[in-house]
Structure 1
Amino acid sequence: MSTSTSTTTYTRTHTATHMSDAIMSSIADILASLGIDSRRLYDEWDQDAAAIAAWITEGSLASVSVECHRPSGAVDPIFKFPLSYTAGGFGDRKFTADNASILKYVAKLKTAPAGTTFKLFCAFNGPRTPQPGWSPGTSASTADLRSRSIGTLATAPDATASARVYMS
C-alpha cells in the first residue's frame, strides 16, 4: 500500500512540474510573439511556476489564463490553458509538450500595441491552498470574444493541458 501511495505522489509531482513548465513557457512565447514586455513574468517565474505546480499537484487548478490589456482598455487576446485530470494516474503515461501549434497560431496575430500589459489568472474547481504572490482577482469576460481551440499543450500521467484563444 505504501509503495502505491509513493508512486502516485511521485508521478503527480512530476506531472505538476511538467504542466507548470509547459504553461509558463507557452505564456512567455505568447508575450514575446505579441511584443509585450515580459520582464514581470520572468521576475515572478519561480513563484508563479511553484504556485501552478502546487495547485496541479492537489488537483484544484482548472485553468491558467493570460490576458492582454491594451492601452485602450480592451482585453484582447486572452489565452486560456484548461486542465483536465485523470483519477488514479491512468492517463497518458508519457510526458509530452507541444507549444508549436500555439507558436504557429500566435505568429499569425499582429503584435500588440505599445503599452499593452498582461495579467495572469487562475480558475479553480474547488478549494485550493493559498500560494505566495497570488490573491483573488476578477478576470475579463470572454462573452464578446470569438473562441478557438489551439489543441493540446501538454499531457502527462494524471493530467492534460489544452490551449484556447479568445479574441475580437
Structure 2
Amino acid sequence: MNSIFVICEVDEGKIADVSLELLTKGRTLATTLKCKLEALVLGHKLAGIEKEIFPYGADVVHIGDDERLAPYTTLPHAAVIKGLFTEEKPQIGLLGATTMGRDLGPRVSSALFSGLTADCTALEIGDHEEKKTQKVYKNLLYQIRPAFGGNIVATIINPDCRPQMATVREGVMKKEI
C-alpha cells in the first residue's frame, strides 16, 4: 500500500498548527491502511524542523531546504511536490486549507491528473460499491465537507485517480502527540 503525504507549512520557523493536525489525522489513516505517513516541508533555514514533525507520527520526513523556496511561491513549490509525488506515488496527499494550501493543492492535483476536495472537515477510510457495476472499491479516502452553505454534508470519494488529495480546514481536527 502506498503512503500518505502531509504537506507541512512553516510559519515563522515553526510547523503550522494545521499541519500538526493533519499529521495527527494522517497517522490514524496510515494505521488503518497499514502504510507509512510521510511529511514534506519546503522552505529555507529548516535545520531541525523534523524534530517538530516526528512526535506527531511521521515515519519519513522529506525536507526541501533552499533559499529559492522561501518565501512561498507557487511554481517552485508545485514543481517539487509534483516531482516527489510522481516518484513516490502516494495514495493520499493532504494540505491545510490555508492561503498556501488553496493555491498549491489545485495546481499539484491538476498536474498529476488527480482530484482535490477543498475545505474538508473530516477524513475517514472506507469502502464504496458502485451500484451500477457492482464494483467494490476498498480503502478509499472519504473526504467530508459542508456543501450548499453548510445545509448538507457531502462525502466525496475519488475511486480512480491517485493520489486522493484534500485540503482540510484549520481547527477541525485534533493536534495530538
TM-score (normalizing by structure 2): 0.29
Q: Quick one: higher RCO (CA 8 Å, sep 6+), 1 or 2?
A: 1
Relative to its length, the structure with more helix (as a share) is 1
Relative to its length, the structure with more strand (as a share) is 2
TM-score (normalizing by structure 1): 0.30
